[in-house]
Amino acid sequence: MRVKVKLFTTLANYVPGVKPGEPFEVGLHNVATLSDLISQLNLPQEEAKLIFVNGLAQPPNYQLKNNDEVGIFSPIGGG
């Protein structure tokens, strides 16, 4: 299975050659969750706070489907 991923804010720093918001493809096992994807990308689980699949927020246990589009955001602070 293949999914398209966009990493935002500092998460792109964990994947060599990826720029924030730039889509890239990831190959996964036929049965994979968002947590599996985060682990495969070596992203710290605590940094992946907001995850969208095809434009809808989803929990880490969401089961991915072929050709899903995933956006992962880290926590954003402000004041």
Give the residue extent of every domain in the chain.
Answer: 2-73
Check pLDDT > 70 for residue 75. yes
Check pLDDT > 90 for residue 9. no
pLDDT for the residue numbered 49? 86
pTM to 2 decimal places: 0.91
Render pLDDT for 27-60 as a digit per residue (tens, 0 to 9): 999 999 999 999 999 999 889 989 999 999 999 9
pLDDT for the residue numbered 52? 97
| Domain 2-73 belongs in CATH node 3.40.50.1980 | no
Q: Name the average pLDDT for the chain.
A: 93
**Phi then psi for 30, rounded to 5 degrees?**
-60, -25
Nearest to 48 by CA among 1, 22, 79, 15: 15
Report the alpha-carbon distance of residue 6 to residue 40 in Å, rounded.
14
